[in-house]
Amino acid sequence: MHKRKLGTGGLEVSALGLGCMRMSFGDRPVDKQEMIAFLHKAVERGVTFFDTAEVYGPFTNEELVGEALEPFRGQVTIATKFGFKHAPDKGPHPSIGVDSRPEQIRRVAEASLRRLRVEAIDLFYQHRPDPNVPIEDVAGAVKDLIQAGKVKRFGLSEASADNIRRAHAVQPVTALQSEYSIWWRAIEPAILPTCEALGIGLVPYSPLGRGYLTGKIDVNTTFDSTDIRSRNPRFTPEAIKANQVVVALLERIAEQKGATPAQIALACLLAQKPWIVPIPGSRKLERLDENNGAVNIELTSGDLNEINSAMSQINVVGDRY
């Protein structure tokens, strides 16, 4: 597995990370020991960057990741997140809202340290902006945790360019996590240039469009009620049918490269900037191996121009949420 650096602080991670959310959160439950074994296999294959959050469960995903990766302490980087309110034992709920008050950030940090079984959190993201708390206060709270040795690096998720700059002025931001893929590119005009100017790495989540860009979803695909895609506007039968043109583009490039659509979708992101580290989610070894193969695919400027030109003519149907 190739390595990449996130931010200017020297954080080196595998070129592809692993999103762990669905290993214990969302749709159908998965056997815990099966997922622990899967995470061990991921490390064996060179993955060193793992993404979780307090709210995934809540709590169960951090506990899973912490238990699975404890034997590899010092060899892997675990990113987790703060910023949501939730009721104990009731899971996350939209009406509960966000909470990035400094006292909440400190509470989450202490709890996450225990669940992750680490002495310091490698990368601590604000999960979503909190309109009730100035971003300077958020950055200051994380700065205090860094100075106390409980957190190593600060990250943001789904932040605006203005919030990124304001936070970075208080405590350098190592990485921004945002949705980014060939069919969701809203961050390109303002946010990507801001990251580049400030030396901040980008960690795209949903780089495979929640599975759609793999080419394995069609109008006959059904989703369990616990699967977030069952309520996602881009996964209605009408949107799935209309957006097949995106998959057709990926399939055409994939055929030329001896690759799969998923590999091309990931390779497109990797080719944008050397400080971009996508975190596709996976629970199956064959999917993990397929995704990891993207790091060996070289897309030329001509390939990227062809993809960009084609996508500029495609109207993707359905909002992302």
Give dist(CA 116, CA 94) in Å, integer. Answer: 25
Residue at token pair 């999917």: 287
DSSP 73-93: TTTSEEEEEE-B--BTTTB--
Q: Where is 36: in which H helix or E strand?
A: helix 32-44
DSSP label of 231 = G
- CA 26/CA 159 separation, integer angstroms: 24
**Best CA proximity match to 82, nearest among 144, 141, 162:** 141
Q: Which amino acid makes up residue 160?
A: S
212 is annotated as an active-site residue:
no
Catalytic residue from among 56, 125, 180, 205: 56
51 touches 11 (CB < 8 A) = no
Question: Cis ω on the peptide bond leading into residue 58 (within 30° of 0)?
Answer: yes
Active site residues: 56
